[in-house]
Structure 1
Amino acid sequence: MKRTTLLSSAGAVILGALSMNVSADEQRFVAADNSVGTQLCMAITKDSPLKLKKAMDYHRARTHLVVNDLQCNDLTVRQFASLYGFERSMKRLNITPLTETSIRDLAKVHGDKLNVVVGSK
């Protein structure tokens, strides 16, 4: 009985570690340049409302400007944030995510995936 409980607990811990490891390795973003648009896009990728607000305040960018005029990797902010799952950044910008269904294989191990981020000029 103890052995079964121990094995099932170990399996749950390993599965949890794998799922967190896959999501952490999946998305790594690097700025392509140092433009204001790219800096705002990079702030969105941090998925931190505080960091996004600080970047917007530093560049004097209002929410409606970021949502309506900024493009990240030739996508609207809504499309970009929805694609990569930046839910906290979307909430800070008062936008709703695009809805779609996807299935992820938790057992599949991904290498580091490098994403280059370019903002609109």
Structure 2
Amino acid sequence: MNTLTTLGTALIIGSSVITFDTSAAQFVAADDSPGTQTCMAIASNNRLDLVHKMRDLGINRRVISDKLLCNNMSTAKFASIYGFNKTAK
């Protein structure tokens, strides 16, 4: 049971896969979970996309800032490392 829980958590935490291009990092969704959808909305660097996705999924800011991990990083760190300044706010 513990292995199953760990696997499920790892799938949610590692919600996107990075592929590097010469110009910038591109993100590809690993699955269609709510965590992945939210991380992809953050990676879009479009505030309105993120707000709409949060509303559609019923996720609030506290959950995103305190509990969600994108590529094994907090959402704030994820947004700052990749320069998603519009969605970082």
Please give the TM-score of this superposition, normalised by the length of structure 1.
0.54
What is the number of residues matched between the two proteins? Answer: 69
- The alpha-carbon distance between structure 1 residues 80 and 88, as it changes in their structure 2 partners (threshold 3 A), is same
In structure 2, distance between residues paired with 1:25 and 1:80: 18
**Which of 75, 82, 106 matches 2:73?**
75
Give % identity.
38
Q: Which has the higher strand share?
A: 2
Q: Which residue of 2 aligns with 1:55?
A: 53
Alignment partners' CA distance in 1, 2:52 and 2:59: 10
Q: Secondary structure in 2 aligned to 1:25?
A: coil
Q: Which runs of 5+ in 2 are unaligned?
A: 1-20
Cα distance between partner residues in 1 of 2:36 and 2:68: 9
Distance 2:84 2:22 in 1: 13
Once the 2 structures are TM-superposed, how far is the Cα of residue 25 of structure 1 from its aligned partner? Answer: 2.9
Greater C-alpha radius of gyration: 1
Superposition CA RMSD, Å: 1.6
Q: Which runs of 4+ in 1 moved over 6 A?
A: none
Paired residues for 1:1-121 under 5 Å: 25-91=23-89
So what's the TM-score if we normalise by structure 2?
Answer: 0.73
- Cα-to-partner distance string for 1:44-86 (whole Å, 9 max, x where unaligned): 0000010000000000000111111000011000111111010
Q: Which has the higher contact order (CA 8 A, sep 6+)?
A: 1
Q: Which runs of 5+ in 1 are unaligned?
A: 1-22, 92-121
Amino acid at match of 1:57: R
